[in-house]
Amino acid sequence: MSTAPHTADQLRDLAAQAGRDLEEASAQDILRWAADTFGPRFCVTSSMEDAVVSHLASQVAPGVDVVFLDTGYHFPETIGTRDAVAAVMDVSVITLTPRQSVAEQDTQYGPKLHDRDPDLCCSLRKVKPLEEGLTAYDAWATGLRRDESPTRAGTPVVGWDAKRQKVKIAPIARWTQEDVDSYVAKHGVLTNPLLMDGYASVGCAPCTRRVLQGEDSRAGRWAGRGKTECGLHG
Ligand code: SF4
């Protein structure tokens, strides 16, 4: 299949068609379609909460680009997971960084912007760097799952990211937490050690807490701040 660059109209049509055709497909088949269709203009993005999608993609597209956003606020365990993924998996880890260091941001906006204006902090440290980093790609895969939170319940396996004019792929959208756990156990996939320490979803350290029994997996993100997503997926 051709991997020549696509126009935005072609990408949008491809996303709509694949979203219908691949709704019932396995994660591997969805990723195989993406790798065949987009070649090197396809990447996986990972928060390094676990390496499930990276592992799946490495099976069908060895050496695939895995894009990681280093906000400067990550837990050491997250950076360690990224380094371990780069060392042991057949992927090419690409680290994106914000234009400003945390110190430079503190100088311009004052310290702890994440407490005062988390939307601006996420925009500066996540949304803009990803937008710039994704210009090299036509399609990106994420680990979004429908069972993670009500805001993610409608996630298509292949959709159109109108904001970035890219095809957005969620190969494990239909998976449950049990599916993830069993894939991790079966294949010995790397996971962030914080998942064994009460965290169900791992983001930046200042904005992530452990979850309580009965809470959904993303309840520990921006807890008490009326914010549920960082803007990467909205
Ligand atoms: S999650 Fe928190 S620290 Fe990280 S970019 Fe967003 S507001 Fe800033």
Pick the atom of ligand 1 nearest to 205's CA: 3
Q: For the purposes of burial, counting CB atoms within 10 Å of the CB of 61, is it exposed (0-12), middle (13-18) or buried (19 or more)? A: buried
Give the C-alpha separation, 47 to 143, whole Å: 9
Pick the atom of ligand 1 nearest to 114's CA: 7
pLDDT for 3 equals 62
Catalytically active residues, by annotation = 230
Amino acid identity for residue 127 in this structure: V
pLDDT for 219 equals 75
Distance 207 CA to ligand 1 centre (A): 6
Interval 171-189 mean pLDDT: 97
Q: Which of 31-35, 88-92, 199-203, 211-215 is the least confident region?
A: 211-215
Interval 3-29 mean pLDDT: 93
Give the C-alpha separation, 141 to 153, whole Å: 17
Pick the atom of ligand 1 nearest to 230's CA: 6
pLDDT for 234 equals 66
Q: Of how many residues is the chain composed?
A: 234
Residue from 69, 125, 128, 232 to probe ligand 1 pocket by mutation (most atoms less than 8 Å from CB) = 125
| Ligand 1, atom 5: closest residue by C-alpha | 122
Q: Say how far residue 53 (Cα) sits from the centre of its chain.
A: 9
Distance 225 CA to ligand 1 centre (A): 12
Q: Which residue shows structure tokens 């319940």?
A: 153
CB atoms within 10 A of CB 183: 17
Does ligand 1 lie within 6 Å of residue 169's CB atom?
Answer: no
What pTM does this model have?
0.93
Does ligand 1 lie within 6 Å of residue 206's CB atom?
Answer: yes
Distance 83 CA to ligand 1 centre (A): 21
| Ligand 1, atom 4: closest residue by C-alpha | 204
Nearest to 201 by CA among 156, 161, 147: 147
Distance 8 CA to ligand 1 centre (A): 30
Amino acid identity for residue 87 in this structure: A
Give the C-alpha separation, 218 to 216, whole Å: 6
pLDDT for 233 equals 74
Share of the chain above pLDDT 90, in %: 83
Residue pLDDT, tens place only, 49-100: 999 999 999 999 999 999 999 999 999 999 999 999 999 999 999 999 999 9
Give the C-alpha separation, 174 to 182, whole Å: 14
